[in-house]
């Protein structure tokens, strides 16, 4: 079994191999540092065009890194040779938009009509923030990032719609501009913030009760800064209620062969 100290010795391919052998089933933050981690969404092919269009229309929340050929579980662009049916630590299965079960292997659920979408995640820009000395509160405090539904509507397609979901990181006022500069480069990992300051301006009543993840403390003089979040796709899928869907389990991401810098312009 992998422990945190050993994880720094592993490449993306090694972590995927451990997942494939069911030797690793835990959350992936901090693993294979420098390699891009990705959100996973799997849908039947008759939903594929519309979901890709939804991502295209909402690129800050849903930056597409790779899309598999119909029926193929191999994301050839970002991890050739990998297998999305086995190479993530944990998955969630949905039927008719309802959660069905969690599993560590989806080979039994795979079908020739499925298409997989890999979507950028905030870990890439958090590494960049840390590299320039910006605080990332949920990492400092050993928590999950706090995430909130907003009153900002995504640009819908016929069947996919829903609120923009954001993640929040508190920053000292004098470092907010630097955080914009650093994260905007990572346009395939949510890029620059979508809002700075007053949570109520985007429909968040209180920071103390996030819709997903954990609350984190704001220190005096700190400003809440909000970035678009990949959970937006899951909300849209729950609303659209496709007959079948698979996603990664929260925090249990796909680790690709891309490097964080590959997500910058």
Task: Enumerate binding residues for a second copy (CB under 8 A).
Answer: 45, 48-49, 52-53, 56-57, 64, 67, 69-70, 77, 155, 157-158, 184, 187, 191, 265
Cα→Cα distances 214→109, 142, 150, 261, Å: 31, 10, 16, 28
CB 148 to a second copy: min, Å: 25
Contact 194/227 with Cβ under 8 angstroms? yes
Q: Which is nearer to a second copy, 13 or 77 (CB)?
A: 77
Q: Could you list the beta-strand ranges (E) of 19-81.
A: 35-44, 64-67
CB 72 to a second copy: min, Å: 10
Query: Angle CA(11)–CA(17)–CA(18) in degrees, nearest 5?
Result: 95
Nearest to 154 by CA among 53, 25, 58: 58
CB 21 to a second copy: min, Å: 31
CB 224 to a second copy: min, Å: 23
Contact 178/165 with Cβ under 8 angstroms? no
Q: Which is nearer to a second copy, 196 or 207 (CB)?
A: 196
Q: Which is nearer to a second copy, 20 or 57 (CB)?
A: 57
Give the whole-angstrom CA distance, residue 129 versus residue 165.
21
Give the whole-angstrom CA distance, residue 195 versus residue 209.
18
Q: Which is nearer to a second copy, 155 or 173 (CB)?
A: 155
Q: Which is nearer to a second copy, 76 or 259 (CB)?
A: 76
Q: Which is nearer to a second copy, 67 or 134 (CB)?
A: 67
DSSP 8-state class, residue 156: P
- Token digits of residue 214: 């954990």
Residues 6+ apart with CB under 8 A from 240: 47, 97, 159, 160, 161
Give the whole-angstrom CA distance, residue 117 versus residue 28.
18
Q: What are phi and psi of 207, to 5 degrees?
A: -80, -10
CB 116 to a second copy: min, Å: 12
Give the whole-angstrom CA distance, residue 35 versus residue 32.
6
Q: Which is nearer to a second copy, 180 or 218 (CB)?
A: 180
CB 24 to a second copy: min, Å: 30
CB 43 to a second copy: min, Å: 11
């Amino acid at each position: 079994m992998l422990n945190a100290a050993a994880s720094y010795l592993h490449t993306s391919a090694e972590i995927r191999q451990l997942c494939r052998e069911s030797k690793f089933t835990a959350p992936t933050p901090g693993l294979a540092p420098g390699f891009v981690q990705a959100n996973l969404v799997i849908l039947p092919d008759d939903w594929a065009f519309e979901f890709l269009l939804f991502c295209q229309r909402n690129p800050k929340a849903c930056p597409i890194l790779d899309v598999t050929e119909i029926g193929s579980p191999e994301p050839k662009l970002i991890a050739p040779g990998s297998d999305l049916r086995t190479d993530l630590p944990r998955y969630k299965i949905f039927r008719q938009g309802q959660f069905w079960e969690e599993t560590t292997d989806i080979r039994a659920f795979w079908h020739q009509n499925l298409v997989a979408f890999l979507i950028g995640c905030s870990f890439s820009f958090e590494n960049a923030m840390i590299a320039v000395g910006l605080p990332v509160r949920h990492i400092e405090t050993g928590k999950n990032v706090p995430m909130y539904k907003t009153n900002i509507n995504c640009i819908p397609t016929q069947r996919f719609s829903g609120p923009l979901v954001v993640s929040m990181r508190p920053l000292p006022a004098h470092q907010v501009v630097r955080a914009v500069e650093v994260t905007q480069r990572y346009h395939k990992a949510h890029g620059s913030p979508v809002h700075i300051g007053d949570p109520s301006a985007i429909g968040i009543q209180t920071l103390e009760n996030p819709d997903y993840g954990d609350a984190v403390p704001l220190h005096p003089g700190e400003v809440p800064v909000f970035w678009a979040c990949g959970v937006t796709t899951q909300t849209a899928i729950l609303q659209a209620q496709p007959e079948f869907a698979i996603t990664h389990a929260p925090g249990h991401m796909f680790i690709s062969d891309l490097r964080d810098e590959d997500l910058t312009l």
